[in-house]
Structure 1
């Protein structure tokens, strides 16, 4: 899987939190984040899209189940792995853990993404960042992609929300904060269904495999050309 930076105007210095501490009860069986998709684990696809769109951002992955294996799956993508103190407690604890682990100063915003969403295109991440950066007061703005009328991920939070994110607990996540400040939300329409596709059931994995197939084929062709071979 090739990771290539996505050209975009710098919207400010961003940090990235990738949440990968869920227990995956609905999926059952082996950790869904480590399931194979076109030769790479699910979580690596999610992480690579963020790295391609925001190559200079400090990046943190919050781990839980199979922590060492999840961290190893991101080798070479420049993520700092931190363990959730209580993965069973829910999304809020994991999100707060990731936010606290980012550099304490110098960040204008925090991009929060989910490790079980492997088909998000880097261009969608860049579009969210660009829309947020164009806001009149990006430090107070919140931006998220929308596809087919459905809100998706990742969600970009201005730095004014950092303390609230760091104080989250339980399984609430950022939803309560979004509901409390709808006036600050920027909805970014994208043509990418990946922003609303998470892996909860085996059928979702099959959908993701089909969605990623064209991208994987393009990567194979580019590798062949760069090595001097001809596409078959």
Structure 2
């Protein structure tokens, strides 16, 4: 795609999936991993949101309907927050809900709220790949694909038809993918257990 045909980056929206319950982090369900503090004091989901917001003009955060505390935190961070009553049906339900809130975008970058260590330069690189015509763009570090993943409107119907917890990754198996090389271990690093809050020190929020 030529520079003249380049999509405006403002047309790309972020979808931050923050509807999970994180049972592995705390099987009792009392501690919401997305609201736990990272070493620098910011909540996991808020750090992930701020990284997205530093690159994209619009980030829709999809939050469980029974998690108003997280919804408020993400709203205060600058996200457009939408409560999803169907989030317990799996990641696909949260994704479809988020897409309906950013329906007019020409592309979407889908991120997970438990991945606060992704560099903003990585999000920029995925956005730029979409701007230049990629229909699916995925960051790659040391030969490994990670998150966040970008999708153009070509795949909107397929994204809306997804079921369960596999999420959008199933589309990467059947459609052409533009791999975006990045120097960022954060694309493969999530907060799954309490130890993940401290491993490796502070997240590289706003690093370039």
Which category of TM-score, normalised to the shorter sequence, fits these structures?
A: 0.7 to 0.9
Which of structures 1 and 2 has the bigger CA Rg?
Answer: 1
* Contact residue 23 and residue 87 of structure 1 kept, 8 A: no
- Structure 1 unaligned blocks of 5 or more: 1-8, 219-232
User: Within 5 Å, which residues of 2 pair with 1:44-55?
Assistant: 44-54=46-56
Paired residue for 2:188?
Answer: 196
The counterpart of 1:147, out of the listed 141, 149, 152, is 141
1:203 CA drift (Å): 1.8
* 1:186 matches 2:178: yes
Paired residue for 2:115?
Answer: 117
1:12 CA drift (Å): 5.7
Q: Secondary structure at the match of 2:61?
A: strand
Paired residue for 1:81?
Answer: 81
* Contact residue 100 and residue 166 of structure 1 kept, 8 A: no
RMSD, matched Cα: 2.1
The counterpart of 2:128, out of the listed 127, 130, 137, is 130
Moved over 3 A (4+): 9-12
Q: Secondary structure at the match of 1:203?
A: helix
* Contact residue 51 and residue 205 of structure 2 kept, 8 A: no
Paired residue for 2:158?
Answer: 164
Paired residue for 1:27?
Answer: 25
What TM-score, normalized to structure 1?
A: 0.78
1:78 CA drift (Å): 2.7
1:21 CA drift (Å): 0.4
User: Which whole-Å CA distance do the structure 2 matches of 1:193 and 1:176 have between them?
Assistant: 22
Quick one: higher RCO (CA 8 Å, sep 6+), 1 or 2?
Answer: 2
1:34 CA drift (Å): 0.2
* Contact residue 148 and residue 187 of structure 2 kept, 8 A: yes
1:176 CA drift (Å): 1.6
- Structure 2 unaligned blocks of 5 or more: 1-6
Number of residues of Structure 1 aligned to a counterpart in Structure 2: 197
The counterpart of 1:174, out of the listed 168, 172, 186, is 168
Paired residue for 2:93?
Answer: 93
- Structure 1 stretch 40-49 or stretch 142-151: which is displaced more? 142-151
